[in-house]
Amino acid sequence: MKGFILGFLCAAALYVGLHYQFIRTSDDLIVVRKSEIGFLNTVVDIRDWTVGDFLKNPAITKTLAARGLGKLVDQAMESLPKPEVSDPGHGG
| pLDDT reported for residue 26 | 82
pLDDT score recorded for residue 22: 94
State pLDDT tens for residues 29-84: 889 898 889 998 899 998 888 888 888 988 888 888 887 777 777 777 776 666 66
CA–CA separation, 45 and 6 (whole Å): 28
Q: What is the pLDDT at residue 14? A: 93
- Banded model confidence at residue 27, pLDDT cuts 50, 70, 90: confident
d(CA 40, CA 34): 10
State the pLDDT confidence band at 5, using cuts at 50, 70 and 90. very high
Q: How confident is the model at residue 13 (pLDDT cuts 50, 70, 90)?
A: very high
CA distances from 78 to 2, 50, 52, 75, 81 (A): 53, 10, 13, 5, 8
Any idea what DSSP says for residue 66?
Answer: H
pLDDT of residue 79: 67
pTM, 2 dp = 0.69
CB 32 within 8 A of CB 63: yes
Instruction: Give the residue extent of every domain in the chain.
Output: 17-80
